[in-house]
Amino acid sequence: MPKVIRTLTFGAVALLSVSAVASETASHAQTRLLAAACANCHGTDGKLGGAIPAIAGRPASVLERQLLAFKQGQVPGATIMDRISRGYSDEELRQLAQHFSRITR
C-alpha cells in the first residue's frame, strides 16, 4: 500500500508538470529515432559487441571525435563508417555521441 501511495504522489506531481515532460519527450523521441538506425550493426541501444564494436557507455568526447574522424576521412582502413558518418551534420553526430554515452552497457 505505501508503494501505491508513493506512486500516486509521483503521478500527481508528474501530471502537474505534464507539458514540460511532453516537450522533453518530443526532443528525446527525435534523438532516439536518430540513434535507432545505429542498432542495425551495433545492437539495440548500441550494446552489442563483437566484430563490430559496442558503442554504448563510451565517453561522449571519444565517440564524437571518432565519428568526426570517420566523416573527415581520417580513419585508416575505414569500411562503411566513413560513408555513414557523412550522412549526418556535425551537430547530429554530437547528439548521437551524447546519446550513446548515457546508455549503461
Among 88, 91, 93, 97, binds other proteins (CB under 8 A): 88
DSSP 8-state symbol, 46: G
Q: Is the dihedral of CA 41, 45, 46, 48 positive or negative?
A: negative
Distance CA 30, CA 27 (A): 5
Which of 62, 102 has the CB closer to other proteins? 102
String marking each residue 6-45 x if it binds other proteins according to CB under 8 A: -xx-xx--xx--x--xx-xxx-xxx-xxx-xx-xxxxxxx
| DSSP-assigned letter for residue 88 | S
50 near 32, Cβ under 8 Å? Answer: no
Q: Is 73 in the site for other proteins (CB under 8 A)?
A: no
Tell which one of 60, 69, 75, 84 touches other proteins (CB under 8 A): 84
Residues 66 and 96 sit within 8 Å (Cβ to Cβ): no
Which positions touch other proteins (CB under 8 A)? Answer: 4, 7-8, 10-11, 14-15, 18, 21-22, 24-26, 28-30, 32-34, 36-37, 39-45, 48, 50-52, 77, 79-80, 83-88, 99, 102-104
